[in-house]
Structure 1
Amino acid sequence: MPQSPDDLDAVAVRTWCSLALEALGRERTAIDAINVYPVADGDTGTNLYLTVESAAAAVEAVFAAHETGSTVPAPADAVRAMAHGALIGARGNSGTILAQLLRGMASVLSESGDAHHLRTALTEAAAAARLAVAHPVEGTVLTVATAAAEAAAATEGSTGIEAVVEAAYEGARTALAATPGQLAVLGRAGVVDAGGQGLVTVLGALLEAVGGRARERAVLPAPEYLPLTGDCADTDPDDDGPAFEIIYLLEAPDDAVARLRSRLDALGDSLVVVGGDGLWNVHVHADDAGAAVEAGVEAGRPYRIRITHFAADRVRADRDPVQRAVVVVVPGDGLAGLCTEAGATTVLARPGEPPASGELVDAIRRAHAREVVLLPNDALLRHTAAAAAEQARAEGVRVALVPTRAAVQGIAALAVHEPGRSFDEDVVAMTSAAGATRYAEVAVAEHQSWTMAGICQAGDILGMIDGDVAVIGEDVPGTARTVLDRMLSAGGELVTLILGEDVPDALADELGAHIREGHLAVDTVVYRGGRQAAPLLIGVE
Structure 2
Amino acid sequence: MQTKIAANVQALKRWLGKAEEVLGNHSDRLNAINIFPVADGDTGTNLYLTVRSASRAVADLATSDVGELLAEAGRAAMEEARGNSGTLLSVFLAALAEPLHGTTRLTGPLLAAALERAEIRCWSALSEPVPGTMLSAVEAATRAANAGDAAQNGDHSNHGLARTLNAAVEAALEAVVATEGQLDPLADAHIVDAGAVGFLLILDTLRASALGEELQPELLEGLHGYGVQDPHIHLDHQAEGMEVMCTINLSPLDAATLRLQLDELGDSVILSAVSEVPDGYRWRVHVHVSDPEAALAAIRQFGEPAHLSVTTLASPDPAQDLVPDGTCRTRDTDD
TM-score of the two chains, using structure 2 as the length reference: 0.85
Distance 1:21 1:194 in 2: 16
Q: What's the counterpart of residue 96 of structure 2?
A: 105
Whether contact under 8 Å (1:62, 1:77) holds in the other structure is: no
CA–CA separation in structure 1 for the residues paired with 2:233 and 2:59: 41
1:208 aligns with: 208
CA offsets per residue over residues 128-162 of structure 1, 9 Å max, x none? 10000111111111111100100111112243222
Any residues of structure 2 matched to 1:442-453 within 5 Å, and which? none
Aligned residue in 1 for 2:263:
265
Counterpart mapping for 1:313-392 below 5 A = 313=315, 346-348=330-332, 355-356=333-334
CA contact (8 A) 2:145 2:165 kept: yes
Determine the C-alpha separation between the residues in 1 that align with 2:46 and 2:297.
24
Provide, for residues 262-296 of structure 1, a one-character-per-residue CA deviation record: whole Å limited to 9, x for no partner: 00000001111122421111110011111212222
Higher relative contact order structure (alpha carbons within 8 Å, sequence separation ≥ 6): 2
- State the partner residue of 1:77: 68
Q: What is the aligned-residue RMSD (CA, Å)?
A: 2.5
Instruction: Return the structure number with greater strand share.
Output: 1
- Aligned-partner SS, 2:214: coil
- One-letter code aligned to 2:311: T
Report percent identity of matched pairs: 33
Structure 1 residue 226 displacement after superposition: 6.2
Structure 1 or 2: more helix by fraction: 2
Answer whether contact 1:253 1:300 (CA < 8 A) is retained. Answer: no
Which structure 2 residues correspond to residues 119-518 of structure 1 after superposition, within 5 A? 119-155=112-148, 156-157=152-153, 158-159=155-156, 160-217=160-217, 218-219=220-221, 220-221=226-227, 222=230, 237=238, 243-276=241-274, 277=276, 278-311=281-314, 313=315, 346-348=330-332, 355-356=333-334
Q: Cα–Cα, structure 1 residues 224 and 12, in superposed 2: closer, same or farther, change >3 Å?
A: closer
State the SS of the aligned residue for 2:59: helix
Structure 2 unmatched ranges of 5 or more = none
- Secondary structure at the aligned position of 1:83 is classed as helix
Q: 1:260 to 1:33 in 2, by over 3 A?
A: same
CA contact (8 A) 2:244 2:310 kept: yes
Work out the CA distance in 2 between the residues paired with 1:167 and 1:280: 33
Structure with larger Rg: 1
What code does the residue aligned with 1:205 have?
T
One-letter amino acid matched to 2:5: S
What amino acid is aligned across from residue 202 of structure 2 in structure 1?
A: V
Q: How far did 1:25 drift?
A: 1.1
- For 2:216, what is the secondary structure of its paired residue? coil
CA contact (8 A) 1:126 1:146 kept: yes
Is 1:87–2:78 an aligned residue pair? yes
Residue 363 of structure 1 is matched in structure 2 by none
| AA matched with 2:255 | V
Distance 1:226 1:347 in 2: 23
1:13 aligns with 2:6: no
The code of the aligned residue for 1:210 comes to: A
For residues 181-240 of structure 1, the C-alpha deviation after alignment (integer angstroms, 9 at most, x for no partner) is 111111111111000001001001100111111131225243585699xxxxxxx527xx
Q: Distance in 1 between matches of 2:114 and 2:46?
A: 23
Letter in 2 for 1:261: R
- Matched with 2:5 is 4
With structure 1 as the length reference, what TM-score do the two structures score? 0.54
Q: What is the alpha-carbon distance in structure 2 between the residues aligned to residue 226 and residue 305 of structure 1?
A: 26
Unaligned segments of structure 1, at least 5 residues: 64-71, 229-235, 318-326, 328-332, 349-354, 360-541
Give the AA of the match of 1:62: L
Q: Which amino acid aligns with 1:237?
A: Q
